[in-house]
């Protein structure tokens, strides 16, 4: 087997995204469209749609928000831990390790409380704290950011999509209470943006996964020239031939 344990852990994030989150996106979008069709009676046969489509859209949406936040936090764990171990941060700055662990736990706790509270004030507070925690964790050392191409960075686009999911979850009660439909329109618009971000995540995630070498290949791959200004760009040192059997 060519995969070591760190390589298998690395694959958990894309595996869950492909097998859990992206199917949920499809289910949520379909139920959202059916809910809108039934509410507006916009097409022939829309009255035949069951009244449960709205509830199913809500349930799938809540599950999707949990899935997006969950795989975002999961994707951050491995590179953060790898950096802390390789840089021996515990011996140099133990407070930083404790802070990151506490922030991780607090972010999860705030997100769980966001599901449980009904107060607008507390929902806003827990949503804000969850979003701040996700962003701070995403900006820790060790996480690949692709700052030179921030507009097409898997990290930054993922943070934006995660924040939109947190916001969508936070405004659910307001959507049902608002008779002017302002929150409903905001929800629809922002989640159309989120849908585009998820599409970009599928593209950038596949690209970044292709660029990450296996752990035992890193010494050779990272000895190659990645400087676009260098004449030797995209070249690697000549390796000695393998020993003959």
244 found inside a domain: no
Range of the domain at 87: 5-221
242 found inside a domain: no
Count of the separate structural domains present in the chain: 1
Model confidence at 38: pLDDT above 90: no
Residue 215 has a CB neighbour count (10 Å cut-off) of 14
Residue where the block lists tokens 């599928």? 202
Of 60, 51, 70, whose CA–CA distance to 29 is shortest?
Answer: 60
Residue where the block lists tokens 């507070």? 125
231 found inside a domain: no
Structure tokens at 31: 């139920």
Of 92, 27, 125, 224, whose CA–CA distance to 84 is shortest?
Answer: 92
Residue range 79-119, pLDDT digits in tens: 999 899 888 888 888 899 999 999 999 999 999 999 999 88
User: How many degrees, rounded to 5, is the angle at CA 210 between CA 209 and CA 213?
Assistant: 85
CA distance 71 to 14: 8
Mean pLDDT of the chain: 90
Model confidence at 122: pLDDT above 70: yes
What pLDDT is attached to residue 47?
Answer: 66
233 found inside a domain: no
Which of the pair, 245 or 98, is modelled with greater confidence? 98
Structure tokens at 88: 């021996």
Average confidence (pLDDT) over 115-136: 94
Model confidence at 244: pLDDT above 90: no
88 found inside a domain: yes
Residue where the block lists tokens 């692709």? 146
Whole-model pTM: value is 0.89
Residue 148 has a CB neighbour count (10 Å cut-off) of 7
238 found inside a domain: no
Residue 151 half-sphere exposure, CB side, CA atoms within 13 Å? 0
**Rounded percentage of the chain residues whose pLDDT exceeds 90:** 54
Structure tokens at 65: 């928000």
239 found inside a domain: no
63 found inside a domain: yes
């Amino acid at each position: 087997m060519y995969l070591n344990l760190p390589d298998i852990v690395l694959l958990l994030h894309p595996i869950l995204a492909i097998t859990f989150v992206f199917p949920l996106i499809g289910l949520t979008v379909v139920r959202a469209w059916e809910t809108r069709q039934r509410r507006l009676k916009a097409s022939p046969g829309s009255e035949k749609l069951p009244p449960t489509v709205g509830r199913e859209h809500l349930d799938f949406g809540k599950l999707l928000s949990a899935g997006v936040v969950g795989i975002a936090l999961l994707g951050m764990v491995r590179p953060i831990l790898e950096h802390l171990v390789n840089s021996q941060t515990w011996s140099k700055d133990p407070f930083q390790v404790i802070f990151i662990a506490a922030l991780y736990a607090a972010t999860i706790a705030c997100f769980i409380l966001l599901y449980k509270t009904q107060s607008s004030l507390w929902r806003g507070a827990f949503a804000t704290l969850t979003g701040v925690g996700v962003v701070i964790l995403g900006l820790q050392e060790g996480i690949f950011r692709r700052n030179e191409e921030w507009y097409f960075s898997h990290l930054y686009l993922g943070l934006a999509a995660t924040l939109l999911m947190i916001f969508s979850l936070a405004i659910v009660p307001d959507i049902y209470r608002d008779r002017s439909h302002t929150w409903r329109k905001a929800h629809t618009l922002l989640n159309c943006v989120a849908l585009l971000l998820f599409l970009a995540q599928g593209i950038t995630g596949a690209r970044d996964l292709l660029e990450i070498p296996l752990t035992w290949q890193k010494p050779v791959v990272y000895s190659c020239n990645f400087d676009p200004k260098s004449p030797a760009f995209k070249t690697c040192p000549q390796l000695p031939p393998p020993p003959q059997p």
